[in-house]
A and B are shown apart, each in its own frame.
Chain A
Amino acid sequence: MMDATRIRSLLHALGLFVVLAFALFPFYWMVTSSLKDQTELLASPPVWFFHPTLANYMDIFADTKVTAAVVNSLIVAVSTTLLSVVLGTPAAYALARFEFRGKADLWFWFISNRMISPIVLALPVYLLSRQVGLLNTHLVLVLIYLTFNLPIVVWICTDQFRSIPPDLEQSARLEGASQFDIFWRIYLPLGLPGVAVSAIFAFIFSWNELLYALVLITSQGLKTAPVVATNFMSGYELPWGKIMATGTVIVLPVTIFAMLVSRHMIRGLTMGATK
């Protein structure tokens, strides 16, 4: 006979399994669907056991569209991540260590950018970039993605830089280090974990972005991966195998990476909500 504690413990494990299944199921379904052939995909009711095939992946990589889209996404995401780190870390340092008028307002302004809906900026940015000929360039995406990446970098790095002991800065200053030296040789290296987390977030957000990429890029060769994935959704018979294979190509590297750095991801995500 089992006592109440044992039963509770078993229920706990069962509950955890349910959560695990809930969190992974759509992902699992996408990956397995990408490994099915068309008959298995259209089977009703759906089949759970099948002979996996890589045919869908052969198909999407034979066509240069998906490969080009992945390359476009990489170029845009890496450039905007680098740019937001280069611009954001000095600002974070200033917010973390200096006193000046309007500091609180400036901080609020940075943070409130996180809340703004892209649809608000999509229209005017579309009109403006049409006027100056920036439509259909990687540059316009790199720049517009700064509106959500810079606040993330500033937010996380300010927090990180604040935790660095200020005595280090004081003694470096006494030894004649310039302000930039202090930032470059003390804050950046010691704050590297925070800088890395914010860069990861910036990369993932840019990699996943759809709305701006949809309205600002119309020429086929420059489209990013999420746009190309959604472009399959037209016509009568949808190529579900190719759609799910493309989805997997977009999502799998990022999710694996996110799981590897999950501790930092979770810290970054819950930051500000628990203080």
Chain B
Amino acid sequence: MTSIPQSLSPRSAPAEIGGARRHHPGYSRWTPFFFLAPAVLALFSIGIYPTLFAIATSFRRYNITRRADQQDGFPFVGFDNYIAVLHDRGFWDSLLLTGKFYLSVVPLQIVLGLVIALMLHRPGWGLLRAITRVSLVVPLATTYAVVGLIGRLVFNRDFGVANQFMSWVGISSSDWLGNPTGAFVAIVVMDVWQWTPFVALIFLAGLSMVPVEIEEAARLETKSPWALLRHVQLPYMLPGLTAVLILRSADVLKLFDTVFVMTRGGPGTATDLISIYVQRVGFKVFDLGLASAQAILLLILTIVLSRLYIHIFYREIE
């Protein structure tokens, strides 16, 4: 099937005018190939080749610190590593914890993000709104590892400012990073700080898509901001909401730097998110066969998510 131009934006249409479906006017069919080849080759050799290598490794007993494995030339063991991963409580617990983390941060980010977006959209206080909007890029541009460092300082047991804030509202100080619940709350807080602005900006972009006339007409019709939000503004924010849900799930699966710096997954396994877990199996235990199998399973999960994302958002260029 040749591609069908109907779903392309109208401005790119002239290339297809004249019924030229097979023969393209002005350029040979190889032209796009030359423009694409460098990028495709680069991404293919850097991205796909290691992935294939990981697949191959995941079917072998491959512990580079175990002499016997090396002497046997890393023997082929079929699906043994996959079976081991699927029977590994640690892997499932870690995935479950990652899910719990997602369910803790995302609703908070959506609610706060919505409130922030509505405040930034509301007329009045122009300069203050502009400054606030600009300030939202600060968390997003901050190095994740440094966010972790700040987290360690803020949540320090002895001189952390988090305990000071707590004492202002009458809660006695605690060793945040030293106990499981505290450590989990601490990484949630840092993630909410870093990613709420992203959610807010996406909602704000949705709000600014509402045609001015429609919004003004609706404001004349109803005094209730709820009705305005629900019937006029919300439909424009729904694509953004779906994007947030999916993008954040991919981000949470990727989340490594901040948590690694703040807690190394501890205390115990309280903050042992999936990336931290796989990293430890691979680079501390050096069981690369097992770690590769985990990585491949993670990859499959990510591909499913990204297909979902793309399916929902990029239908237009199909």
Residues on A facing B (Cβ under 8 Å) = 9, 12-13, 15-17, 19-20, 22-24, 26-27, 29-30, 33, 41-46, 86-88, 90-91, 93-101, 103-104, 106-108, 110-128, 143-144, 146-147, 150-151, 154, 162-163, 165-167, 170, 173, 179, 183, 204, 207-208, 210-211, 215, 225-227, 229-230, 233, 240, 243-244, 247, 250-251, 254-255, 257-259, 262, 265-266, 269-270, 272-275
Q: Given the complex, which residues of B lie within 8 Å of A147, measured CB to CB?
A: 43, 46-47
* In the complex, residue of chain A having the shortest beta-carbon distance to the beta carbon of B62: A127
Binds A, one of B21-29, B85-93, B102-110, B178-186: B21-29
Residue of A27, A91, A124 touching B51 (CB-CB under 8 A):
A124
Whole-angstrom CA separation of A88 from B36 in the bound complex: 8
- The reply to whether B307 and A112 form a contact with Cβ atoms under 8 Å apart is yes
* In the complex, residue of chain A having the shortest beta-carbon distance to the beta carbon of B45: A143
* In the complex, residue of chain B having the shortest beta-carbon distance to the beta carbon of A88: B39
Q: How many cross-chain pairs have Cβ atoms below 8 Å apart between A and B?
A: 347
- The reply to whether B124 and A12 form a contact with Cβ atoms under 8 Å apart is yes
Binds A, one of B65-73, B211-219, B227-235, B298-306: B298-306
For the complex of A and B, the 6 pairs showing the least CB-CB separation, nearest first, are: A273-B243, A91-B39, A124-B50, A258-B141, A98-B32, A94-B35
SS of B interface (majority): helix
- The reply to whether B256 and A229 form a contact with Cβ atoms under 8 Å apart is no
- The reply to whether B143 and A166 form a contact with Cβ atoms under 8 Å apart is no
- The reply to whether A91 and B302 form a contact with Cβ atoms under 8 Å apart is no
A190 → B minimal CB distance (Å):
13
Q: Given the complex, which residues of A lie within 8 Å of B240, measured CB to CB?
A: 270, 273-274
- The reply to whether B143 and A226 form a contact with Cβ atoms under 8 Å apart is yes
Whole-angstrom CA separation of A112 from B254 in the bound complex: 14
- The reply to whether A150 and B35 form a contact with Cβ atoms under 8 Å apart is no
Contact A119:B256 (CB < 8 A) given known A226-B146, A251-B143, A272-B243: yes
